[in-house]
């Protein structure tokens, strides 16, 4: 997993509410394409016209938002089904962090497992960031996991909370399994001592 310390770049103000995982990636694409091949199909129903041409009205088809590493979103982003492919598709687009007032719970967890950072900030703060992006397209924002702040190009940094274990996992580029394996020595010591105390629960 790619480590995440901080990311700086344009923040695309895609402020729709209740963007579900089927909008982010249609289920039919997950049966035909691998996790690194989903970028062209992210937001497919919004991104393309019926004839297959790019929709010029869709924000992420416009410069400087195409390839923006930070996405600003409305409440309940990533709701709906539990498909991890929605996170894979966003990552293929170059998104490393999504800032929103709230997220779908499984989508939120899946972001951490794929080296991406979901940031929860008050709705008014996200809207302020979006307004800056709209009026000054392309100005750089920074999401700094080490300091736990989202920094607009002007104005005070906005602090955010993040579970410390998940924070350490992102900083080190480790998912849950990787974090567990870092404690392999402790686990082996526990198992050895436990096998002496309760040998009957261990297979010969």
> Mind listing the pLDDT tens digit of every residue in the chain (204 residues)?
889 999 999 999 999 999 999 999 999 999 999 999 999 999 999 999 999 999 999 999 999 999 999 999 999 999 998 889 999 999 999 999 999 999 999 999 999 999 999 999 999 999 999 999 999 999 999 999 999 999 999 889 999 999 999 999 999 987 767 767 677 788 888 888 888 899 888 887
pLDDT of residue 204: 76
Cα 37 from chain centre: 17
| CATH class for the domain made up of 6-198 | alpha beta
pLDDT of residue 25: 96
Do residues 173 and 182 lie in contact, with contact meaning Cβ atoms separated by under 8 Å? no
How far apart (Å, rounded) are the C-alpha atoms in residues 26 and 168? 32
What is the residue extent of each domain of the chain? 6-198
DSSP track, 65-122: TTT-SEEEE-TTBTBSS--THHHHHHHHTT--EEEES-B-HHHHHHHHTTT-EEEE--
pLDDT of residue 7: 98
pLDDT of residue 21: 96
Question: 105-112 vs 85-92: helix axis angle to the nearest 10?
Answer: 50
pLDDT of residue 99: 98
């Amino acid at each position: 997993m790619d480590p995440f310390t901080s990311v700086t770049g344009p923040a695309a103000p895609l402020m729709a509410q209740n963007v579900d995982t089927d909008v982010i990636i249609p289920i039919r694409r997950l049966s035909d394409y691998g996790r690194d091949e989903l970028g062209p199909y992210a937001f497919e129903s919004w991104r393309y016209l019926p004839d297959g041409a790019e929709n010029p009205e869709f924000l992420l088809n416009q410069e400087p938002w195409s390839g923006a590493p930070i996405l600003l979103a409305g409440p309940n982003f990533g709701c709906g089904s539990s498909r991890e492919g929605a996170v894979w598709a966003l990552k293929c687009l170059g998104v490393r962090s999504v800032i929103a007032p709230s997220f779908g719970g499984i989508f939120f967890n899946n972001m951490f497992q794929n080296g991406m950072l979901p940031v929860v900030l008050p709705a008014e703060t996200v809207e302020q960031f979006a307004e800056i992006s709209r009026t000054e397209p392309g100005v750089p924002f920074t999401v700094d996991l080490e300091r736990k702040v989202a920094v607009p190009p002007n104005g005070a940094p906005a602090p955010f909370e993040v579970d410390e274990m998940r924070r350490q996992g992102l900083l080190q580029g480790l998912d849950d399994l990787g974090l567990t394996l870092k404690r392999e020595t402790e686990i082996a010591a526990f198992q050895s001592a436990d096998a002496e105390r309760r040998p009957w629960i261990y297979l010969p």
